[in-house]
Amino acid sequence: MTQHFDIHALRAQFPACENPDWVYLDSAATAQKPRAVIDAISDFYASPLANVHRGQHQASLTATEKFEQARRDVAAFIDAKPNEIIWTRGATESINLLAYSLSQHFTAQDEILVSEMEHHANLIPWQLVCERTGATLVKIPCCPHTGQLDLHAYQQALNTHTRIVAVSHVSNVTGTRHPIEKMTAMAHRYGAIVIVDGAQGVIHDPISMAELDADFYVFSGHKLYGPTGIGVLYGKQDSLAALPAFHGGGKMITDVSFEQHTLAPIPARFEAGTPNAAGAIGLAAAIQWLTQYDLRAIDAHLSTCYQALVEGLKQRPAIQLICPQPHSTMVSFVVDGEHHADIAELLGQQNIAVRSGHHCAHPFIKALNVEGTVRVSLGAYNSQEDIDRFLTALDKTLYLLGV
């Protein structure tokens, strides 16, 4: 954290920000990539290329070292140990891996608690587990007026039959930050396993796995300024050791006969086949790029932009904010009498990129009693000028619709 934060210097590192006519306000879906990440991936493929953990020649040894250094970089970023980091394709695959592996011995007596506010990636895998095993899916309800989970209802739902608690760190609809430390401590009193979807939570604030104390934490690289197709599954060492293997194939074994096999140590046993080495290296480059800054300075900048965004939206009477949070990087809203897709389309025609719809969180949207929302989400590269241009385009949109 040695480089002074300067929004203009930071933006200059993003090729996508070179287009002066385009305002990107959809970073919760995926973040733009800095040149450091693009170069790291390009350099990996441009150098003498080899598979990792497969050869004794120099190209393979070099690729393997870069791949494993990336694992160490990710571990350090979240205050974990390298052998607690499993590479996956993304948060979705990480959760599916856990759902498959943890449920091998579930019965109809078991219960899985999932919050009402989850992204489908942290809901549907558990629905499938319940269909397969007879276990019961239990909802942790939210307050539709505040966008906060009902912790009293959560406490009441926990019992000795609770096997899993699955909850997001930060909602991808409202930006609500859930009290993971408190929820984890409550769940552990009943021996439940806590799984946190950190896709939105890992992005802005320094995170310590030791402090969160969740058994598993998952996130995707592409929301963290890294490449697509790479994800992380963090697990406590004992928690990972208790998991059966998910994928079978090369690298995840130490010995194979025709009749049986011996599993490799963790993390290799969960990484069958040729890994996305370029993706891992690109994610490490994103982390190295990001941590050259004071993350709190970036957060303070984004907080200023967020407050300007929310205040600007509040000044427009036709707009209803959906559970705006005091501190966040995203906000959802609806326009009285207008479809969310029409708002996004008209903004898009003015080169303002936002997200509209259910945000892969249908149950939460239904609980909020809306058909869908327009979501504006910020990245480190967004500026006050972006907010001003968005609000100007929104005014034109409302005028065209006669609102």
Residue type at 342?
Answer: D
Could you give the C-alpha distances from 352 to 180, 262, 264, 270, 317, in angstroms and in order?
A: 34, 54, 49, 41, 21
3-state secondary structure of 283: helix
What's the CATH superfamily of 7-32+294-397? Aspartate Aminotransferase, domain 1 (3.90.1150.10)
Q: 284, 70 in Cβ contact below 8 A?
A: yes
- Length of the chain in terms of residues written: 403
pLDDT of residue 1: 40
Count of alpha carbons within 13 angstroms of residue 134, beta-carbon side: 5
The span from the CA of 402 to the CA of 396, in Å, is 10
Task: Say which of 17, 130, 305, 360 is annotated catalytic.
Answer: 360
Reported confidence tier of residue 296, pLDDT bands at 50, 70, 90: confident
When pLDDT is averaged across residues 45-69 and rounded to a whole number, the result is 94
In DSSP terms, 144 is beta-bridged to none
Q: Is 130 a catalytic residue?
A: no
pLDDT of residue 2: 41
Q: Indicate the pTM of the whole model.
A: 0.96
User: Cβ–Cβ contacts within 10 Å for residue 56, how many?
Assistant: 6
- pLDDT tens column, 186-197: 999 999 999 999
- Domain 7-32+294-397 identical in fold to domain 38-290: no
CA 390 to chain centre: 25
Could you give the C-alpha distances from 259 to 28, 251, 256, 309, in angstroms and in order?
A: 47, 18, 8, 62
How, if at all, do strands 231-235 and 85-88 pair?
A: antiparallel
The span from the CA of 21 to the CA of 37, in Å, is 24
pLDDT of residue 246: 87
- pLDDT tens column, 384-400: 999 999 999 999 999 99
- Reported for 265-269, long-range contacts at CB under 8 A and 24+ positions apart, including other chains, are 265/83, 266/83, 266/86, 266/237, 266/240, 266/241, 267/71, 267/83, 267/84, 267/85, 267/86, 267/87, 267/240, 268/53, 269/245
Residue 5 above 80 pLDDT?
A: no
The span from the CA of 350 to the CA of 23, in Å, is 9
List of residues 6+ apart from 44 with CB closer than 8 A:
63, 66, 277, 278, 281, 282
Does domain 38-290 sit in CATH 3.60.70.12?
no
**H/E stretch holding 85:** strand 85-88
Residue 3 above 80 pLDDT?
A: no
Q: Which residue has the tokens 């967020």?
A: 306
CA 363 to chain centre: 19
pLDDT of residue 4: 60
- Reported for 42-49, long-range contacts at CB under 8 A and 24+ positions apart, including other chains, are 44/277, 44/278, 44/281, 44/282, 45/278
The span from the CA of 124 to the CA of 322, in Å, is 24
Domain ranges of the chain: 7-32+294-397, 38-290
